[in-house]
């Protein structure tokens, strides 16, 4: 419809221009967000199937912008990744999470065995000084490396297998733990899996949430657990929302559970309270 008198082409060009401006504004706001302290870490508990207790937390970043409101990490992490902003942001995330973990450790003796999981982005993972940076963060925060777990994804490790193995072994030597996140969604090659010194495999939510409908996902999940155990890895099932899902995973001898059924990602104070007051699931 030529209501405005503009040609299709002009309308299209205007749209493109608007989109480019929006993206530039997002980048500019994101750039300011670190200095303005607009990021916050939330912590989602990870529960042991055997004890029913919290054995760890995953740190998940939140951006609360004064002008935009709440922006989901799914919307800004990719932008931060493309622009390289993820590097300073990732530094802040790692340090804040380690500081939080050390604070729990110093307050609660039972936190000694708890691990803090921190997501690494692929850009961070390919930084030449990653290991040195992590070491420095552990020194600054005084956190025992055994309390830190890094979450990496299949696509990150498959990019450059030989280098990844060297890097992961360096991290293992520091006594840091490693989780393979979103397992099953990427292009993992089973022939490499046994060469990665990973402690834990996280089954992606997409498999877990479609289990109860009698689909093949039940068999897939069971097979992933068996495979992980054969390779000497523990398993975390993520995205558990129902008691049925919980029961199925427990029956497969999966070690750890994470998901809304237990708790959503929580603000620092709420996470602390849950850890102290919620004894058992
Ligand atoms: P992820 O690492 O796979 O994190 C799990 C996501 O699933 C989180 O979403 C979490 O809130 C959500 N989740 C957990 N349990 C359930 C459940 O039972 N049901 C449903 N529907 N969702 C559940 P979130 O926090 O929005 O993060 C999305 C993604 O953004 C993360 O996926 C991760 O890839 C990225 N991300 C989040 N925080 C960070 C961070 O600090 N650094 C990096 N590099 N990436 C991050
Ligand atoms: Ca994760
Ligand atoms: Ca995941
Ligand atoms: Ca995911």
pLDDT in tens, 9-58: 888 888 888 889 988 999 999 999 988 999 999 999 999 999 999 999 99
The string of pLDDT tens digits covering residues 138-181 is: 999 999 999 999 999 988 888 888 999 999 999 999 999 999 99
Q: What is the pLDDT of residues 34-44, one digit of tens each?
A: 889 999 999 99
pLDDT range class, residue 3, cuts 50, 70, 90: low
39 beta partners: 63
Q: Is the CB of 119 within 6 Å of ligand 1?
A: yes
The answer to whether the CB of 150 falls within 8 A of the CB of 118 is yes
Contacts with 25 (C-beta within 8 Å, 6 or more apart), sequence order: none
C-alpha 1 – ligand 1 centre gap (Å): 42
Please say if the pLDDT value at position 2 is more than 70: no
Is ligand 1 within 6 A of the CB of residue 73? Answer: yes
Q: How many C-beta atoms lie closer than 10 Å to residue 29's C-beta?
A: 19
Of all ligands present, the nearest one to the C-alpha of 44 is 1
Q: Residue 208: its pLDDT value, please?
A: 93
Region of residue 34 (left: phi > 0; alpha: psi -120 to 50; beta: else): alpha
CA 43, 181, 119, 236: dihedral to nearest 10 degrees?
A: 30
Residue with more model confidence, 194 or 56: 56
Which is the closest atom of ligand 1 to the Cα of 41?
41
Is pLDDT at 221 greater than 90 in this prediction? yes
What integer pLDDT is reported at residue 213 of this predicted model? 66
**209: how many CB neighbours lie within 10 A of its CB?**
17
Higher pLDDT pick, 213 / 194: 194
pLDDT of 96 > 70? The answer is yes
Q: Is the CB of 265 under 6 A from ligand 1?
A: yes
pLDDT in tens, 107-136: 999 999 999 999 999 999 999 999 999 999
What is the pLDDT at residue 193? 86
* Residue of the CA atom closest to atom 13 of ligand 1: 239
What's the pLDDT tens digit per position in 232-270?
999 999 999 999 999 999 999 999 999 999 999 999 999
| pLDDT for residue 60 | 98
Task: Round to whole Å and give the CA distance between 171 and 148.
Answer: 10
Q: Which of 30, 47, 57, 60 to mutate to test the pocket of ligand 1 (most atoms within 8 A of CB)?
A: 60
What's the CA-to-centroid distance between 213 and ligand 2, angstroms?
Answer: 25
Percent of the chain with pLDDT over 70: 96
Confidence of residue 4 (pLDDT cuts 50, 70, 90): low
Closest ligand 1 atom, residue 151 Cα: 2
Could you write out the three-class secondary structure of the chain?
A: CCCCCCCHHHHHHHHHHHHHHHHHHHHHHHHHHHHCCCEEEEEEEEEECCCCCEEEEEEEEEEEECCCEEECHHHHHHHHHHHCCHHHHHHHHHHHHHHHHHHHHHHCHHHHHCEEEEECCHHHHCCCCHHHHHHHHHHHHCCCHHHEEEEEEHHHHHHCHHHHHHHHHHHHHCCCEEEEEEECCCCCCHHHHCCCCCCEEEECHHHHCCCCCCCCHHHHHHHHHHHHHHCCCEEEECCCCCHHHHHHHHHCCCCEECCCCCCCCECHHHHHHHHHHCCCC
Mean pLDDT of the chain: 92
Distance between Cα 202 and ligand 3 center (Å)? 7
Partnered with residue 26 across adjacent β-strands are none
Cα–Cα distance for residue pair 40/134, rounded to 1 Å: 20
């Amino acid at each position: 419809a030529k209501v405005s008198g503009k040609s299709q082409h002009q309308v299209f060009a205007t749209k493109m221009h608007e989109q480019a401006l929006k993206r530039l504004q997002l980048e500019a706001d994101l750039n300011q967000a670190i200095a303005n302290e607009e990021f916050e870490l939330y912590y989602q508990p990870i529960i042991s199937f055997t004890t029913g207790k919290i054995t760890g937390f995953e740190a998940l970043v939140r951006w609360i912008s004064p002008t935009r409101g709440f922006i989901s990490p799914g919307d800004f992490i990719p932008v931060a990744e493309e622009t390289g902003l993820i590097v300073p942001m990732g530094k802040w995330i790692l340090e804040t999470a380690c500081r939080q973990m050390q604070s729990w450790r110093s307050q609660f003796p039972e936190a000694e065995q708890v691990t803090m999981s921190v997501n690494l982005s692929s850009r961070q993972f390919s930084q030449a000084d990653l290991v040195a940076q992590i070491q420095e963060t552990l020194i600054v925060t005084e956190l025992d490396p055994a309390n830190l777990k890094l979450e990496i994804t299949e696509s990150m490790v498959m990019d450059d297998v030989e280098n990844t193995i060297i890097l992961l072994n360096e991290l293992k030597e520091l006594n840091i733990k490693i989780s393979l996140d979103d397992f099953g969604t990427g292009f993992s090659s089973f022939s490499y899996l046994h060469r990665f010194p990973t402690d834990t495999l996280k089954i992606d939510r997409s498999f877990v949430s479609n289990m109860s409908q009698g689909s093949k996902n039940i068999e897939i999940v069971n097979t992933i657990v068996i495979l992980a155990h054969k390779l000497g890895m523990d398993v975390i099932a993520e995205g558990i929302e129902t008691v049925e899902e919980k029961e199925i995973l427990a029956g497969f001898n999966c070690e750890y559970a994470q998901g809304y059924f237990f708790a959503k990602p929580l603000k620092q104070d709420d996470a602390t309270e849950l850890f102290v007051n919620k004894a058992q699931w």
